[in-house]
Amino acid sequence: MNINEVINYAKSKNLDTIEALLILELILKTRKELLIANIKKSLTKKEKKLFFDQIDKIEKGTPIHYILQKKEFMGIEFSLNKHVLIPRFDTECLAEEALIQIQQNGFKKILDLCCGSGCIGLSIAYYIRKKVILSDISTKALQIVEKNTKKLKLEKFVEIIHSNLLKCIKGKLDIIITNPPYLNKEELEIKNKIKKEPTKALLGFGKDGLNISRKILSQAKEKLNPNGLIIIESAPWQIKSLKDFAIKKGFSHLKTIYDLEKRARALILGQRDDTSIRDCTFNKDK
Ligand SMILES: C[S@@+](CC[C@H](N)C(=O)[O-])C[C@H]1O[C@@H](n2cnc3c(N)ncnc32)[C@H](O)[C@@H]1O
C-alpha cells in the first residue's frame, strides 16, 4: 500500500487527511509536506502495521493527541502523555486574558494552578519572559511540565511546585490562572472518549462538579494580594453558580471570558475593595 492508499484507509475509519498525515509523520519520521509530495511511495510491511495499529487505537477511543504525544496551544507545541489533559482551544482564552492582565497591572507573582501539561503557565512565560509558578498534585504531570519547560528553554522563568491546590504555595500572589477539574461523575461516565484522559484531571467532585473550584476560591482569597486576580475556567453551564459562590466569598466579579464559540468559559475575579482595576480595564458582565 502507498501513502495515498493508507490515507484513504484512515479516512474510511473517520479520520481526516491531516490526522492521517500526522500519524504518518510520526511513523515515517518525514514531514507531511514531503509525504504529500511522495504520495505514491509504498510503505514497508512494518510501517503499514504500525499505521494500522494506531488507527485501531483511535477507533477504540484513544485521542489522537495521545498517539502523537503533542498538541499545539497558543501557537506553541506541547509534549503530552496519558498523565495529562490534552490542552483545549477553549482554554486559550484564559491564557490570552492572563497575558493582558499581567502586563496591564504589572503583575509579578504569577501562578498556574492545576497546571497539567503546563500549557497555560508556560505560554505566559514564553510570551512575556516573566517568572511563572506552575503547580499540580500529579507528580507525573509535573514531569511533563519539566519536559516542556526544557523543550521551550524556559528554565530561567519557571518554578514547578508539587502541591494539593494552594497548600504548598508560599507567599502572596498577584494572579492565579486555573483550569481545574470540573466534570461531575455522570459527565465523566458519559464522555466515553474523555475517559481516556486522567480522572484526576477531569473530576471536580460534588453533584455539580465544582467542589475543587470552590476549594480553590476559598483558599485563593487569602493568597492573593489586595489588587490580585484569579482567572478560573469552568463549563459554561457552571459559570453562574461559580460566580455566585465567588461573590459570597467576597470576590468581586470583574469579567466573564467567552471562548471561541462565544460560550461563557471563565471568570476574572478580584478583591472586593479593588475598584481601580474594575474601573479602568474591565467590562461588566453581560
Ligand atoms: C483540567 S486539568 C487542566 C490541565 C491544564 N491546566 C490544561 O488546561 O490543560 C486539571 C489538573 O488539575 C490537577 N489537579 C487535580 N486535583 C488537584 C489538586 N487537589 N491540587 C492540584 N492539582 C490538582 C490534575 O492533576 C490536572 O492536571
Domain boundaries, the chain: 3-60, 81-270
For ligand 1, atom 12, name the residue with the nearest CA.
114
Please write down the HEC assignment for all residues of 236-286: HHHHHHHHHHHHHCCEEEEEEEECCCCCEEEEEEEECCCHHHHHHHCCCCC
Q: Which of 73, 81, 114 to mutate to test the pocket of ligand 1 (most atoms within 8 A of CB)?
A: 114
Nearest CA to 79 out of 152, 163, 174, 183 is that of: 152
pTM equals: 0.92
Confidence of residue 196 (pLDDT cuts 50, 70, 90): confident
Burial class (CB in 10 A: 0-12, 13-18, 19+), 161: middle
Residues 73 and 123 sit within 8 Å (Cβ to Cβ):
yes
The pLDDT > 70 percentage for the chain reads 93
Is the confidence at residue 222, as pLDDT, over 70? yes
**pLDDT tens-place string over residues 131-146:** 999 999 999 999 999 9
Confidence of residue 48 (pLDDT cuts 50, 70, 90): very high
Is the confidence at residue 285, as pLDDT, over 80? no
For ligand 1, atom 26, name the residue with the nearest CA.
201
What number is the average pLDDT over the span 25-46?
96
Distance 121 CA to ligand 1 centre (A): 12
What number is the average pLDDT over the span 110-133?
98
The pLDDT > 90 percentage for the chain reads 87
- The dihedrals phi and psi of 263, each to the nearest 5 degrees, come to -100, 140
Average pLDDT for the chain: 92
pLDDT of residue 186: 87
**pLDDT tens-place string over residues 145-176:** 999 999 999 999 999 999 999 999 999 999 99
What number is the average pLDDT over the span 97-102?
98
pLDDT of residue 275: 47
What number is the average pLDDT over the span 199-226?
95
Q: What lines the ligand 1 site, CB under 6 Å?
A: 84-85, 87, 91, 114-117, 119-120, 136-138, 141, 164-165, 179-181, 200-201, 212
Distance 168 CA to ligand 1 centre (A): 15
pLDDT of residue 245: 97
DSSP-assigned states of every residue in the chain: -BHHHHHHHHHHTT--HHHHHHHHHHHHT--HHHHHHTTTPBPPHHHHHHHHHHHHHHHTT--HHHHHTEEEETTEEEE--TTSPPPPGGGHHHHHHHHHHHHHHT---EEEES-TTSHHHHHHHHHH---EEEEES-HHHHHHHHHHHHHTT-GGGEEEEE-STTTT--S-EEEEEE----B-HHHHHH-TTGGGS-HHHHB--STTS-HHHHHHHHHHHHHEEEEEEEEEE--GGGHHHHHHHHHHTTEEEEEEEE-TTS-EEEEEEEETT-HHHHHHH-PPP-
Q: Which CATH architecture best describes the domain 81-270?
A: 3-Layer(aba) Sandwich (3.40)
pLDDT of residue 273: 56
Q: Tell me how far CA of residue 209 lies from CA of 45, 243, 274, in angstroms.
A: 47, 14, 29
N- to C-terminal Cα distance for the chain?
A: 56
pLDDT of residue 60: 87
Q: Which of 66, 70, 72, 85 to mutate to test the pocket of ligand 1 (most atoms within 8 A of CB)?
A: 85
Please give the number of the atom of ligand 1 that sits closest to the Cα of 180. 10
Is the confidence at residue 276, as pLDDT, over 60? no
Q: Which of 136, 148, 188, 223 to mutate to test the pocket of ligand 1 (most atoms within 8 A of CB)?
A: 136
Handedness of CA 12, 13, 14, 20 (dihedral sign): negative
Residues 233 and 119 sit within 8 Å (Cβ to Cβ):
no
